Structure 1
Amino acid sequence: MRLINQFSFLANITRSHLIARRYFVVNGFDGALAMLGLLMGFHVSNQTDLITVINVCLGAAVALGMSGITSAYISEAAEKQQELKNLEEAMLSNLSQSAHGRAARIMPMVVAATNGLTPFIIAIIIMLPLMIARWIPGLIENPLEIATLLAFILIFLLGVFLGRISGHLWLWSGIKTLFVALITTLIIYLLRPL
């Protein structure tokens, strides 16, 4: 419990919990939309070989995760170090061993993990019907369609979450993100090779 309280304190003094929450929604949305795009690409090309679909989606999920972790860590570590330096200059003191110093070292890792793991986990959730169909043949009849539906559901739920955070009508927020997913699907369908 003490560790959780310390972590919460460090997150609050740097306001990193707000950054992590924003990254959770933004990169969760990116991960779900990227998977939806891949699934629609396979659908319009009539590619239904599960091994190919799973490998391509898994490759994209890993790339999204690694990109999220590294980009967020580099940028957040630089920001937190700059904030710490500014605070040290204002206080004329070395704060490396203070709570602010600990936060400058720890919180970029937390934000980076949130930024990278969110799209990866969401992508894996969307891929579950594909993987189950591969592991247990015959259990799921249309895994590509079910995975696509799951992507739409997760995109809607991320919109709902965003609406709850912002204090807006959650249903309307969910519908807006779902609309983006539908427009994306329509564009992919219209751009398919003739």
Structure 2
Amino acid sequence: MQNDDSQPDDQQLTAAEGTLMGRVRRALEITEGVEIARRYFVINAFDGALTMLGLLLAGLASMAVLAPRTALSTTLLAAMGTSTAMAISGFSGAYLAETAERNREVDEMQKAKQSQQSMSSYEDAVQTTSLVIAAVDGIAPLLAASAIMFPLVLASVGLLDSSVGFDLAVAICMVVLALLGVFLGRISGKDVWVFGVVTLLAGICTALVMFVFLLATSAVG
């Protein structure tokens, strides 16, 4: 008779877990994927926000030599292309990496001669977890970019002045960075304001480096 402790993953889905969300939640619990997905979300949202900040600052600088509408449309198009590429790259890269890593775990479990039922449950959970983590990885930068670039969309349809749209987008970017820091602080159980300030400083440092670079290339007066 097999020891129940040797196969904790053999539990069947309860009626409450019969829904799609229930199955996803159960799979993440089995594979401990929640923490991984959370890390991917923060890292990629942070990357997306800083990337958008760089594009915004370049767009603002280009207004010194380009018509405001031209600078606006160019920046918005660049942001759309960049965020889409980040989303596709994030999804495909995370899925391949997670699948490879999880397959290694499955092979190790097979070598340890886990029960067939346990292996089947774990393999199903692995596939679900890999897809969820990949989706989070892909969506995170897209969400950050969409929130940050929304004022530029409003400006592009004439609801905001171009310069106001840029200024609001930069402000939203800083807020997004600070909120990501607060989220990290809540996860760690430490001072949320410290984390918020640190992530905000990352944005400020990016702006300063960008400004120095623009000065060095005579892009701004």
Q: Secondary structure at the match of 1:172?
A: helix
Deviation at 1:44, TM superposition (A): 2.1
Deviation at 1:180, TM superposition (A): 0.8
User: Percent of aligned pairs with the same residue?
Assistant: 35
Note if 1:43 corresponds to 2:60: yes
Q: Secondary structure at the match of 1:191?
A: helix
Alignment partner of 1:80 out of 102, 105, 125: 102
Alignment partner of 1:183 out of 205, 210, 215: 205
Deviation at 1:92, TM superposition (A): 4.8
Superposition CA RMSD, Å: 1.5
Note if 1:168 corresponds to 2:185: no
- Counterpart of 1:18 in structure 2 is 35
Would you say how many aligned residue pairs link Structure 1 and Structure 2?
A: 192
Task: Pick the structure with greater CA Rg.
Answer: 2
Unaligned runs of 5+ in 2: 1-15
Q: 1:57 to 1:96 in 2, by over 3 A?
A: farther
Q: Report the TM-score, using the length of structure 2 for normalisation.
A: 0.82
Q: Supply the distance in 2 between the matched residues of 1:59 and 1:96 (Cα, whole angstroms).
A: 43
Q: Supply the distance in 2 between the matched residues of 1:124 and 1:112 (Cα, whole angstroms).
A: 19
Q: Secondary structure at the match of 1:91?
A: coil
2:182 aligned partner, one-letter code: V
2:84 aligned partner, one-letter code: V
Alignment partner of 1:53 out of 58, 66, 75: 75
After superposition, what is the alpha-carbon deviation per residue over 1:53-106, rounded to whole angstroms, capped at 9, x for unaligned?
Answer: 111110010011011001100000111111111112112544686220101211
* Contact 2:95 2:130 survives alignment (8 Å): yes
Unaligned runs of 5+ in 1: none
Q: Supply the distance in 1 between the matched residues of 2:114 and 2:29 (Cα, whole angstroms).
A: 23
Alignment partner of 1:154 out of 145, 159, 176: 176
Note if 1:102 corresponds to 2:124: yes
Q: Supply the distance in 2 between the matched residues of 1:188 and 1:31 (Cα, whole angstroms).
A: 16
* Contact 1:155 1:177 survives alignment (8 Å): yes
Q: Supply the distance in 2 between the matched residues of 1:181 and 1:79 (Cα, whole angstroms).
A: 33
Deviation at 1:190, TM superposition (A): 0.3
Q: Supply the distance in 2 between the matched residues of 1:111 and 1:7 (Cα, whole angstroms).
A: 11
* Contact 1:95 1:101 survives alignment (8 Å): no
Alignment partner of 2:160 out of 134, 137, 140: 140
Q: Supply the distance in 2 between the matched residues of 1:60 and 1:123 (Cα, whole angstroms).
A: 9
Q: Secondary structure at the match of 2:185?
A: helix
Q: Supply the distance in 2 between the matched residues of 1:44 and 1:154 (Cα, whole angstroms).
A: 22
